[in-house]
Chains A and B, each alone.
Chain A
Amino acid sequence: MNSPRNQLSDTLRDWRVTPPADPNFRHQVWQRLNRQIPASWPAYLRGHAVAWMLVTLLTVSAAALTGHATAQAKVRADRETMVVSYLVDLDPRVQAVLKR
């Protein structure tokens, strides 16, 4: 005697699905993939405009500050060199040591 559980198992075992082949399947997959890759560099930039603008702003600001700070440090060092040279010429105490 077949129980309902065995009938279900038999039915599932014999069940075959034969879907009709979709001729556009491959084409549709490529279309979806291509939609995710930007077609051009400007398109890529437009897609990430906010992020890149923020990064650009930060990077350029940091570069400007670094350039300015480096120049100021150089000006300070140059001025220090000149003050010392100037005073060495003026100061007999230093001259006395140098001429020993």
Chain B
Amino acid sequence: MKYLTRTLAVLVLLAAITGFVCYRMSCDPTLHAAVLKHDTMEWMRADFNLTDTQFSAIRDLHNSYAGTCEEHCRMIQEATKARNALKAAQGGDSAAMLAAEQKIQELRTHCETAITRHVHQVAALMSPEDGQRYLALVLPKIADFDHQAAPDLHLNHSS
């Protein structure tokens, strides 16, 4: 009986060590470090094998796109405020309401086109395989964002 217990204990220890080693070997420490630091650029560098030249070109592209993003964001906010004001007004004009909704939708579509163009530009700076992988990862999410809206992104919106 003591030999059986001893053998089982050794087996459990061996299984634990094997599981741990396989876990560590299959992990991606660079990706995890980027998650901990909330550093999306570092994630891109690691996950898409960017060289220093590619990395700085993509960073510049992101920086130049940031202005466009701000502008689109401001326009959507203004259109949404206008629509909400119309909604709040008693006996609001339904044609004006429809036009306001349409304007928001147009802006959102315009945004989606701009982001899609931007990610294609980013992908073009990567190696063909990594660019394809990047697009396959990002493009479906861009389409989903319009339908999901922010609450499904696990973000804190109270601030």
Contacts and interface: CB of A to CB of B under 8 A. Distances in A.
A93 B110 CA distance: 10
A50 to B, nearest CB: 14
Given A67-B21, A68-B26, A86-B43, A95 B73 contact: yes
A94 B23 CA distance: 35
Contacts of B47: 79, 82
A71 B31 contact: no
A90 B115 contact: yes
A22 interface: no
Contact of B138 (A41, A52, A64, A83): A83
B141 A92 contact: no
A96 B76 contact: yes
A14 interface: no
24 contacts: A41-B3, A55-B11, A59-B14, A62-B15, A63-B15, A63-B18, A67-B23, A68-B26, A71-B26, A75-B26, A79-B31, A79-B47, A87-B115, A90-B62, A91-B145, A92-B70, A92-B115, A93-B108, A96-B77, A96-B80, A98-B150, A98-B157, A100-B77, A100-B80
Contacts of A85: 38, 40
B15 A86 contact: no
Interface in B74-127: 75-77, 80, 108, 111-112, 115, 118-119
Interface of B: 3, 6-7, 11, 14-16, 18-28, 31-32, 34-35, 38, 40, 43-44, 47, 62, 65, 69-73, 75-77, 80, 108, 111-112, 115, 118-119, 137-138, 141-142, 145-146, 149-150, 153-155, 157
